[in-house]
Amino acid sequence: MEVKDAIKKAKKNNQIAFNYLLDTFWNEVYGFQLKRTENENDAEDITIQTFSKAFDKIDTYKESYKFSTWLITISKNIHIDLLRKRKTSVTDQTIDDDEERVYDIIDESPTPEDKIIREQNLANLLRDIKKLKPAYQEVINLRYFQELSYKEISDQLEEPMSNIKVKLLRAKKLLSEIIQKE
């Protein structure tokens, strides 16, 4: 399969084409993010978000651009958004006449109300996860509740890592649809 063929098939929701594109461009996007973030977990998370967003928006891709360039642009924007979110959690202010700089770290610990809401949200999330097929439940459980890496999940389920990545992308998309319906 060639990239152009895969893109056309992916626009028609062909899962094999999505898998091919993921396998073909994963290392390029991941390598790009690894250089930017210098953190394997962040690079991996941003790369997954990149493919998830790209697959959701595949209809907007224009063939006048290289597909890899389009992916890298999406990836770069996701990284910039992540950095903006992180910057807002720590602010610096100048205090006294001595212009002594201090860093005021915002207290983000949850209030009792937040804890109750989080528990209710978790219960709702677990209920929604149970609506997924068992294979999707398992991969979400291993990744987000047991916090295993893709390699560890791949080894445990005895499946190629690319299948795990696609399965997780699909599981997250289906879960999102379930949550939005309610």
CATH code of the domain containing 37: 1.10.1740.10
CB count within 10 Å of CB 39 equals: 12
83 shares its domain with 138: no
What's the pLDDT score for residue 92?
45
Whether residue 102 is contained in a domain is answered as: no
Closest CA to 150 of 29, 44, 55, 75: 44
Q: Give how far Cα 32 sits from Cα of 23, 132, 142, Å.
A: 15, 33, 26
Q: Are 104 and 136 in contact (CB under 8 A)?
A: no
CATH number at residue 170: 1.10.10.10
State the 10-residue block means of pLDDT for the chain, 182 residues long.
90 89 93 92 88 90 91 94 78 45 59 79 86 90 90 90 82 86 80
pLDDT value, residue 108:
66
Does one domain contain both 75 and 113? no
Indicate the number of domains in the chain. 2
Last residue within a domain, chosen from 87, 121, 137: 87
Is the sign of the CA dihedral 36, 39, 40, 42 positive or negative?
Answer: negative
- H-run or E-run covering 93: strand 90-95
Asked if residue 92 is part of any domain, the answer here is no
One domain, residues 113 and 175 = yes
Q: Kindly list the distances between the CA atom of residue 27 and the CA atoms of 44, 48, 116, 150, 167, in Å, as whole numbers in the listed order.
A: 10, 11, 41, 14, 18
The pLDDT of residue 93: 42
Q: Is residue 128 part of a domain?
A: yes
